[in-house]
Amino acid sequence: MMKQANYTVYAGITGTVREGAASADKRKVKTTEMLRKGMAILLILMIITVPACAEIVRIGKTDCLLQPASEEDCLKKYVLFVGSAEYFHACMLCGDITARDGELLIPQGNNRYVRCTAASDVVMKDIWPTLLSWAEEGFSIVLIGYSAGGYPASTLASRLAEKGYTGRLYLLDGISGTYRGIRYNEEYYRERLASWELAIWTSSDKKVEIAARSRKIGSALEGDANVDYRHYTMSHARMRLFYDVIMNGAEAPAPETESQEEDAEE
């Protein structure tokens, strides 16, 4: 059962400090005041950013934004995994995102987890029972992974496939490398997600490693029957505009053609 979220700010300070007790007490008071102010600002931002119809829910240790569908009698469930730069503030940054034809869940990493991969492991463990129950109830599952969010999206899609459930997976510059001995390459997607509809949409960004890796794997899978591979002339960060394309049918820019690629190289 989903419960209303409780927000806690965590702070950790390490190292050796040699100073008087009085100075240490002043530091402690100042730090406490800063944390209280930070907490107040966070709560204000949450109130301002999150629409009235949305809920902040806690599933396990994971805070999530739960957006209802804008249309009634919808049988889709969307789960959006944002990139590492947004990971710990997903609820605030994505508060205005909705899905027209289904309920939308946006998990946010817990503040105690520093690395996005470690946070992702906790998030996946927390939301897996909810995701599985949706599949068992017959909902159509759509998982979206932007950038580092492609790791939890791909992993959870694979777990659902193992249980015999199908769905649609969107990876927006979202193909990871190797993690915990698992290589997220073309063999991974062919062997584990052959029953899923797989959309791999990539940017032309040459400065971001995950974008280049996504283009490589997407090109290798382009001819597969279940794969929709598209390459766009835009930056990695602009790939976020496809949230609205996927969930609300907004018009997408035209994918880059081979002739456009050749012109760009020249």
Return the HEC string of 193-256: CCCCEEEEEECCCCCCHHHHHHHHHHHHHCCCCCEEEEECCCCCHHHHHHHHHHHHCCCCCCCC
pLDDT along the chain (266 residues), means of 10: 35 35 56 57 48 77 85 85 80 78 86 59 92 96 95 96 98 90 93 97 95 97 97 95 91 67 40
User: How far apart, in whole angstroms, are the C-alpha atoms of residue 266 and residue 174?
Assistant: 28
Burial of 141 by CB count in 10 Å (0-12 exposed, 13-18 middle, 19+ buried)?
A: buried
Where do we find the tokens 């979220």? Answer: 5
pLDDT score, position 134: 96
Would you say 42 and 88 are in contact if contact means Cβ atoms under 8 Å apart? no
Residue 67 φ/ψ, nearest 5 degrees = -105, 125
pLDDT score, position 99: 86
- The superfamily (CATH) of domain 3-7+54-265 is Alpha/Beta hydrolase fold, catalytic domain (3.40.50.1820)
Each domain of the chain, given as residue ranges in start order, spans: 3-7+54-265
Neighbours of 89 (CB within 10 A): 17
User: How far apart, in whole angstroms, are the C-alpha atoms of residue 215 and residue 26?
Assistant: 53
User: How far apart, in whole angstroms, are the C-alpha atoms of residue 147 and residue 93?
Assistant: 15
pLDDT score, position 121: 86
pLDDT score, position 24: 54
User: How far apart, in whole angstroms, are the C-alpha atoms of residue 26 and residue 265?
Assistant: 59
pLDDT score, position 217: 97
pLDDT score, position 54: 76
- E strand intervals along 39-152: 55-59, 62-67, 76-81, 102-108, 140-146
Where do we find the tokens 């496939």? Answer: 161
